[in-house]
Amino acid sequence: MRTITLLAVLSMALVIPATGVTAPSDPVKGPACGDITFSDPDQAGPPVYRSDITGIPTVFSSVTTQKPSCSHMAYTVTVYDATGTTVLGAQTFNGDDSASLFQSAVSPTGGPSQVCVVATSTRNGKVVDVAPNTGCFPLALNSSPGGSGLN
């Protein structure tokens, strides 16, 4: 009986640390149509910053909603300078109760070598979701950040 009790206690000790190391949740403050993922146009990684076919530096991205977009929601991609303080460009899409994917191409003013990007969903001027969840995501011109989309 002692052996069984000891094994049960040791098993619990192994489970507790594993459950304490979970990824932070996506803090969405509204309906599923406001829950966004921010990624590259192929939805294979984070947004990309590269020169377009005319040589103009452009941030290419997509915003995907968990459920079809809501007509009362706005979805915005904002490009900041590398410090994340000065807006260099933005593109906003209005929800339509059917689309779940919005493709964006924003050419930041001045075409700097580094930018920082954020996507938001808003309803009546209030933020429902932001991606990434904190801060902004840095991008360097003509480099591939790799990884997955941002929630």
pLDDT (tens digit per residue) in 11-44:
333 333 334 444 445 577 788 999 999 999 988 8
Residue 150 counted as domain residue: no
What range does the domain containing 86 cover? 26-140
pLDDT for 74-131, tens place per residue? 999 999 999 999 999 999 999 999 999 999 999 999 999 999 999 999 999 999 999 9
In sequence order, what are the residues at sequence separation of 6 or more whose Cβ sits closer than 8 angstroms to the Cβ of residue 122? 73, 74, 76, 128
Residue 99 counted as domain residue: yes
Residue 49 counted as domain residue: yes
Residue 149 counted as domain residue: no
CATH of the domain at 91: 2.60.40.2550
Residue 61 counted as domain residue: yes
pTM for this one? 0.78
Tally of domains in the chain? 1
